[in-house]
Amino acid sequence: MSREQTVRDVAYAIWEAEGKPQGRDSEHWMQAEERVAASLNGDKPAKAKAPAKAKPSAEAEPTVVEAKPMPKSPAKAAATKAAPKKKA
């Protein structure tokens, strides 16, 4: 198979992998040429790197945690139970 046919096949595969977009044929051809050249040189083709995850900054807003109501102390609970109820 000729080099041109190989580039054509690779460009077609790139086009299909990207969802067959219109108007990007020259970009796909260039990518295919780079991949074919790299494979002929024994190099691995360059893969797109994933974007780096953002590191939390020191200036980021702190997470707000709502406080739960404090439970009654045992002494307070006992005093409430022992208190005489008022008659109406």
Structural domains of the chain, count: 1
**pLDDT for 51 beyond 50:** no
Q: Quote the CA–CA distance of 59 and 62 in Å, as a whole number.
A: 9
Q: Quote the CA–CA distance of 15 and 28 in Å, as a whole number.
A: 6
* Out of 7-11, 35-39, 77-81, least confident range: 77-81
Instruction: Tell me whether residue 88 is in a domain.
Output: no
* pLDDT value at residue 42: 78
Q: Per-residue pLDDT averaged across 37-49, rounded?
A: 69
Instruction: Tell me whether residue 73 is in a domain.
Output: no
Q: Per-residue pLDDT averaged across 57-64, rounded?
A: 56
Give me the domain span that covers residue 27: 3-40
Is the pTM value of this prediction over 0.75?
Answer: no
Instruction: Tell me whether residue 68 is in a domain.
Output: no
List, in order, residues 6 or more apart from 8 with CB less than 8 Å away.
Answer: 32
* pLDDT value at residue 50: 47
